[in-house]
Structure 1
Amino acid sequence: MNYFTILKLSQYDGIRKQEFDDSNALPIRLNNRLKQQKHPPMKIAIMYTIFAVISTIANIWSQDISFRIYQGSYALWLAIFVGTAVGLVVKYGLDKRYIFKYQTTSIAHGSKTFYLYTLMGLFTTVIFWGFEYTFDAVYQTAEMRYLGGVIGLAIGYFVKYQLDKRFVFK
């Protein structure tokens, strides 16, 4: 089936539908929108929370490993960066597949989607880093630094879901 051979455009429940020469299959973009509507809002919130917890654990675990490997100057910033990178990749994979049920059409489309996801994450990362760094500066203990990180991640994930829904997985 060739998804790029468009015969005509028509309306389908207020969303554009593309009809193809060899079937009435919906194009990937419409298919992505319809898949997003399958889960009720409460189920999405629960799944998103579970995935945020998984990503948070991956983030904090990666930071801990980073601190065990390197304890020199800028160890805190290196650990935060490593944890953020690991958390980003884990969360992107889970969100794309299970929350937004989004399919990319090509490597270029996938790269653009990951770029937008990362760009939206930059804003929320500032929230996370701000809380973690502030807790570290105020309390000067690893436990409080991680607590600040968890609080920052929780707030950041809430904001990120809203941004991703509106700008990335549309």
Structure 2
Amino acid sequence: MPQPPAPKPLAQDPIAEARRHWEEHGWGDAADGMAAVTAVMRTSQILLTRVESVLKPFGLTFSRFELLALLSFTATGALPMAKAGARLQVHPTSVTNAVDRLENAGLAVRRPHPSDGRTVLVAITPAGRDLVPEAVAALNKQVFSRPGFGQEDLTALAGILTRFRRQAGDFDESPGEGVTAGP
């Protein structure tokens, strides 16, 4: 499936223009930071649009895909809803919404925890398990294998963003340690 056409480009870079205004207004000491943050946010919007367009034919959004993929990585195909939210770094309301929609689509179900009556598990269904590799193949082909960055840029960008996230307290993993996906 081909990627949708990109929107018509603007005549000038609005972030460069914002930087110029920042400097003109005497905020030049923060202009680089404003431009970098704004560029990351705009890039995120562009990439999310690409990902969402690939997932739309599967009836998925990126957040629902992430939850299904996470469940497919677990040994049992299920996780406590709170743990799923923590691993995806989203608010419990977002997990509830994603599970509601995945349940309506027959891709996930809620079930009681076998040993903790206070805990609700979210589990991937056989249909969800079947859908994950199809969606992954489409994402890999249409987005992840050609995201619009060269290999050196990808390596540098991943390193820079990982370092930023670690320093911001996003995670406390020591370099080289893996993250397990079991419940």
| TM-score normalised per structure 2 | 0.28
Flag the structure with higher helix content.
1
User: What TM-score results when the alignment is normalised by the length of structure 1?
Assistant: 0.30
